[in-house]
Structure formats: C-alpha cells, structure tokens
Amino acid sequence: MANHKSALKRIRSNEAKRLRNKYKHKTTRNAIKKLRDTESKKEAEEMFVSVTSMIDKLAKKNIIHNNKAANLKSGLAKHIATLK
C-alpha cells in the first residue's frame, strides 16, 4: 500500500488515464474494423479521414507507437486503393 499522499493520488490518476486510454484505443480499433468491412470506395475514403485522425491522436498521446500508427494508416490506404 502507498505511504504518501502523492502516491495515493498517482494511483487514482493512473487508473483514470488507463480507462481513458483503453476507451480511445478500443473506439479506434472498432472504427478501423468498420472501415475494413466497408465495400464502397467513396464511403471508405470519407471514413479514412476520421480514422487516420483517431490513429494520429493515439500516437501523439503515446497510446500506440508512431510506427504502428504509420503501419495502420498505410494498410488502410492500401485497402481503400483495392476497392472499386
């Protein structure tokens, strides 16, 4: 158990941040899956803008690594290019 007030606060704030990060990450993963399931190229291109924005925000906040963000965006762009 923590012995200092600051340590107790750190435990509380870490839990809040963990839950917030988990929510943002899960939301982004669901958006990626939805984009990959889309058949329409026009609809996918519209979704791509918002999904890349979500991915960039995760990378900026260090929830995911920058290289993983680049990998995801690249893969989604390739997927959209193959749609008709």
Q: Do the Cβ atoms of 27 and 11 come closer than 8 Å?
A: no
Per-residue pLDDT tens for 28-62?
A: 999 999 999 999 999 999 999 999 999 999 999 99
pLDDT, residue 84, reads 86
Q: Which residue do the tokens 């995801």 mark?
A: 72
User: pLDDT band for position 1 (50/70/90)?
Assistant: confident
User: pLDDT band for position 15 (50/70/90)?
Assistant: very high
Domain ranges for the chain, please list them.
43-84
> What is the model's pTM?
0.88
- One-letter amino acid of 81: A
